[in-house]
Structure 1
Amino acid sequence: MRRLPPTEATGLWSGARHALPTAYGTTDLVVLGLGVMIGAGIFSLAGRQAATMAGPGVILSFMIAGITSLLVAFCIAELSSAMPASGSAYTFTYVIFGEVWAWIVGWALVMELLLATAVVARVWSLFAAQMLADLGVRAPEPLAGFIGQIEGFDLFTLLILVLLTGVVALGARVGLRALWIIVIAKLVAIGAVIIVGATHFDQDNLAAIPAPPAPVEAAYDTLHSPLLGIVLGQTTAFGWFGIFAAAATITFAYIGFDVVATAAEEAEDAPRSVPKGIIRGLVITTVLYIAVAIVVVGMTPYDKIDTDAPLASAFRQAGEGFMVHVINIGAVLGLTTVVLVLLVGLTRVVFSMARDGLFPRPLAKINRSYHSPTTATLVIGGLAILLAEFVPVLTLEPLVVIGTLFAFIMVAAGVIRMRRTMPDLPRGFRTPLSPYVPIASILASLWLMVNLQVVTWLYFLAWMAFGLLVYLVYGRRKSVLGGGSPPLALVDARGRHRR
């Protein structure tokens, strides 16, 4: 149970921990959060969950997911202000609980971010293909079967991953400039959706939360029913059960605020700027998601929502056909920034784990020209391409949620433990009402986890068991704290790279 000393986590023991150049101010971190949290889901998730699970109560589902995320955000903000390292929850756990738990959390983060990258890239292709179709642009016949595919080889998925992997490999500053431009554009699109949609709002569509239908035998199989539903014998949608079940799925929309913490080593005045970036970004995102949810269920009765294109069909029925193009463009732009920031976050987590010896050391090498972990970025980009192209990733989306919620629980528990074991460690932010807020975040995260399907739990446990095997075979022996060799790339006192 080796633990990383706090001084080592913040970079005092190895110059390699200062190898990432400063790139982000407070506002940049807010934009980073908006870039990863606001994707195409803002235009479709509320409609799908309203039609299939929660009815008008989907607005409450968004609030529940947002409050849960905010509780955890307070905890991440405190830990990142005390240990501003690129490993985020992985590094926090390494310091507070030890190497084994750090590996488990890091392994869960790798699953979360890598799978999320592949999922979002595939969805980007679907929206890009739909945007071209709505604009009347037809793909050449030989390519038509390889664009906008749910499964199998997809040219657009390959294109976006290759392009954004290259952008991330060129360094944080290049990606940040692109991020600012795209985030501003998609916020304009979201604003247009809210303003125009509000003119067609009908409050009668929010009248009541539909009651659960009468149970139907064999309506749901065990593996694809929520774990809590199996325990309680409740497997129907709608009602309060449906609201909470939808909240668990909606948590996927908020995933990303924790990625902001992975930029801590590259942030100016990280102990203060990172907490502000995390919390402000999450609050803005929550408000926007709830506003769009109100619009979509206010424009169309929940039982008449088109689950394939909720907002687009609602605007068509309202005679606002031009808004379809706004939604398509906003979705494509939103997904572009999500993939970009996910790649940044995953690169930093893998970089940190490799720097500690738990992953192969070459992944911790900093490129001298771009001041970026280029090797790690290219490897991650390649893995994301393989996963997105050859695995039906859209069916595995809930794994992203369960991996994230697991990391959230460890972070919240870390705040409680750190307050007891390291009370004098300097912090730029303190979680309010501790330990009550961390305890509440743990309970809320557990509640959302048990609302996920049984099959998701089985996949998650299998992934974690495989991860423990990898640690025992490789990480335990290669760890720097366990006597392994130091990272490849070091930086001397003058900031010059040396081997």
Structure 2
Amino acid sequence: MSTILRRLPPTAVTGLRTGARHSLAEVYRPADLIVLGLGVMIGAGIFSIAGQQAATTAGPGVILSFMIAGIAALLACLCYAELSSTMPTSGSAYTFTYVIFGEVWAWIIGWALILELQFAAAVVARAWGAITVAAIANFGVRVPDKEFVQDVLVLAILVLLTGVVALGARVGLRALWVMVSAKLLAIGAVIVVGLLYLDPANFGDFHVPPKTLDTAPATVLEVLVGQSQAFGWFGIFAAASAIAFAYIGFDVVATSAEETVNAPKAIPKGMIRSLVLATVIYLAVALVMVGMVSYTKISVDAPLASAFRAVGVDWMVHVIDAGAVLGLTTVILVLMVGQTRVLFSMARDGLIPRGLARVSRRYHSPTRVTLVIGFVAIVVAEFVPVLTMQELVVIGTLFAFAFVAAGVIVMRRRMPHLQRGFRVPFSPLLPALSLLATFWLLVNLRVLTWVWFTLWMAFGLFVYLVYGRRKSVLARPHAPERVLSTGGRHRR
């Protein structure tokens, strides 16, 4: 019971608590945070998810689905903003939970974030390989052994981006600015050209009569309802759950708090602004997708590309390919940055080997943990069928969302004296609504996903009991005082 109640003191994260070996340089400014958010939230899915959900689940109402998903994400984002402004540290939800709920709960959230970020990097890398091979083929180049070429490309991109992250935040930031700017230009071309071919008749009344599917119930909600449905309002809300996957990533911005200038003010603004911009961009692409072609004629495999081909603008396919490749490259890069910062924090707290928290004096980056993460991502991407298990990324994220929303409510009661750079308006109402929205998204995940997630968390709890509980810095006598004793004089 003492371990469950053992909490990190707020002063350990509201002030500097580590020496030169374990501190990170301040690199990010407000504009950089927006680029970081757009880098991870806008990937290849922007060219496909609207068409896929319109064709199979929501019809033209997919535009409403994007709005609903955006509101749900914004509620979670506001909660992250308050906690990040109060505890500007690289651990994000893991550290918030450590302070508010205790060590064992922090471990659980940290373990869920490992699942989210590590698995996401592998999933996106695998998708990047497939899209890159398809883009090469679209230029008329014959690819003799697609599977082998894809494996080589996945290995190459993960090795390259691991090196970029290991070389330090400044190197990764410069590369990110270039790639995000290029993919936004591609998305802008898609929107501008697509608007020229809109047909208002394709929108209908945004509502398609519901229909019962012949497939067996797969999600928790479908099991409770007893059947699978598409279209109608049920389909619109179900599509919102799938679309929420596109908005996941703003929480990665919170992991950069320790490296951000004036983090209590900058992090909330960066997260909220990047999420709002991403929502507007997704809505614009969804509007173009649904407006160009009737939802009944959308190709699920390549919806946006097929839509442009249908209206005779074949050259846009190459623009879409370029945007998709760049989009997924930035997603992998930001995910790896976020993962290194979470594991860095867990190592600094002793819950995983502390040697992983060593900061390279040459690159001012947690190089050791970066190399470990890159190696694991390569193994998972190359040898695990990750594309069939991508919902595990979503469930890990949503689990963290729930604790962050609850954390805002609890912290307001337990620690009202802490200085906050941002406060969630209408609290506890909005955090409670965030909890409800997160619960809705969770019950729209497959039962099989819940089974795998439960097994992963059970294994994680075993690891904590065997290692983390004993090695934690809080398990040592006078730990809070020693954690705080190194002060801020080594801050770069």
Q: Is the 8 A contact 1:249 1:401 kept in 2?
A: no
Structure 2 match to 1:495: 490
Query: Where do residues 226-305 of structure 1 align in structure 2 (5 Å cutoff)?
Result: 226-305=219-298
TM-score by length of 1: 0.94
Secondary structure of the residue aligned to 1:481 is helix
Quote the residue 1:151 is aligned against. none
The answer to whether the 8 Å contact 1:357/1:479 transfers is yes
Q: Which residue of 2 aligns with 1:381?
A: 374
- The question of whether the paired residues in 1 share the 8 Å contact of 2:22 and 2:348 is answered with no
Moved more, 1-10 or 342-351: 1-10
Residue 178 of structure 2 corresponds to which residue in structure 1?
Answer: 181
Deviation of 1:10 after TM superposition, in Å, equals 3.1
1:245–1:452 CA contact under 8 A, matched in 2 = no
Measured against aligned partners, the alpha-carbon deviations of 1:74-124 in whole angstroms (never above 9, x if no partner) come to: 110000000000000000000000001101111000000011100110111
Moved over 4 A (4+): 484-488, 490-494
CA distance in 2, matches of 1:481, 1:446: 32
The more displaced of 74-83 and 244-253 is 244-253
What is the CA–CA distance in structure 1 between the aligned matches of 2:12 and 2:59, rounded to whole Å? 50
CA contact (8 A) 2:212 2:230 kept: no
Aligned mates of 1:437, 1:466 — CA distance in 2: 33
Task: Give the Cα–Cα distance (whole angstroms) in 2 for the partners of residues 4 and 80 of structure 1.
Answer: 16
Corresponding residue of 2:439: 446
Alpha-carbon RMSD: 1.9
Deviation for aligned residue 1:493:
5.8
Letter in 2 for 1:266: E
d(CA) in 1 for partners of 2:465, 2:491: 35
Structure 2 vs 1, CA of residues 313 and 135 (structure 1 numbering), >3 Å: closer, same or farther?
Answer: same
**Aligned-residue offset at 1:214:** 4.0
Q: Distance in 1 between matches of 2:116 and 2:426?
A: 29
In structure 2, how many angstroms separate the alpha carbons of the residues matched to 1:196 and 1:253?
A: 23
1:172-205 per-position Cα deviation (integer Å, ceiling 9, x unaligned) = 0000000001111111110100011111111111
Counterpart-to-counterpart distance in 2, 1:17 and 1:339: 27
Q: How far 1:130 sits from its partner (Å)?
A: 1.2
Letter in 2 for 1:207: G
Q: Distance in 2 between the 1:160 and 1:145 partners?
A: 16
Give, as a single letter, the amino acid of the residue that structure 1 aligns with 2:83.
Answer: L
Deviation at 1:215, TM superposition (A): 5.1
- For 1:445, the aligned partner's letter is T
Secondary structure of the corresponding residue to residue 149 of structure 2: coil
Q: 2:135 aligns with which of 124, 131, 135?
A: 131
1:85, 1:71 → 2: CA distance? 21
Q: Give, in whole Å, the separation in 1 of the partners of 2:58 and 2:247.
A: 18
Distance 1:349 1:294 in 2: 36
Query: Which residue of structure 2 aligns with residue 351 of structure 1?
Result: 344
Q: How far did residue 327 of structure 1 move?
A: 0.3
Equivalent of 2:403, from 410, 423, 448? 410
Q: Secondary structure of the equivalent of 1:372?
A: coil
Q: 1:244·1:451 contact (CA, 8 Å) conserved in 2?
A: no
Deviation (angstroms), 1:12: 3.4
> In the alignment, which of 113, 126, 145 is matched to residue 122 of structure 1?
126
Cα-to-partner distance string for 1:395-443 (whole Å, 9 max, x where unaligned): 1111111111110010010000010011010011011111111000000
Amino acid at match of 1:289: Y
Match of 2:28 among 13, 24, 30: 24
| Inter-partner Cα distance in structure 1 for 2:457 and 2:81 | 26
User: Residue 273 of structure 2 aligns to a residue in which SS?
Assistant: helix
Of the candidates 193, 203, 207, which is equivalent to residue 190 of structure 2?
193
Q: For residues 391 and 493 of structure 1, what CA distance do their matches in structure 2 show?
A: 43
1:22 partner amino acid: E
Partner of 2:17: 13
**Structure 2 matches for 1:152-171, cutoff 5 A?**
154-171=151-168
- 1:138, CA displacement in angstroms? 3.2
* Aligned with 1:457 (options 434, 446, 450): 450
Deviation at 1:212, TM superposition (A): 2.4
The CA distance in 2 between the partners of 1:425 and 1:38, in whole Å, is 34
1:291, CA displacement in angstroms?
0.7
User: Deviations 1:202-237 (Å, cap 9, x if unpaired)?
Assistant: 111111422222453xx22x4xx1111111123122
**Which residue of the partner structure matches residue 111 of structure 2?**
107
Report the Cα distance in structure 1 between the residues aligned to 2:106 and 2:444, rounded to whole angstroms.
Answer: 26
Q: What is the CA–CA distance in structure 1 between the aligned matches of 2:487 and 2:403, rounded to whole Å?
A: 34
Do 1:8 and 1:14's aligned partners in 2 also have CA atoms closer than 8 Å? no
Q: Is the 8 A contact 1:244 1:448 kept in 2?
A: no
| Residue in structure 2 matched with residue 212 of structure 1 by the alignment | 210
Opposite residue 437 of structure 1, the aligned amino acid is L
Instruction: Indicate the percent of aligned positions where both proteins have the same amino acid.
Output: 65
Q: CA deviation at 1:242?
A: 1.5
Structure 2 counterpart of 1:495, one-letter code? H
Equivalent of residue 41 in structure 1, options 39, 45, 55: 45
Task: Report the more deviating stretch, 202-211 or 41-50.
Answer: 202-211
Q: Which moved more, 1:9-18 or 1:297-306?
A: 9-18
User: AA paired with 1:174?
Assistant: V
CA distance in 2, matches of 1:16, 1:136: 53
Query: Which one-letter code corresponds to 2:296 in the other structure?
Result: D
Q: Distance in 1 between matches of 2:427 and 2:20?
A: 34
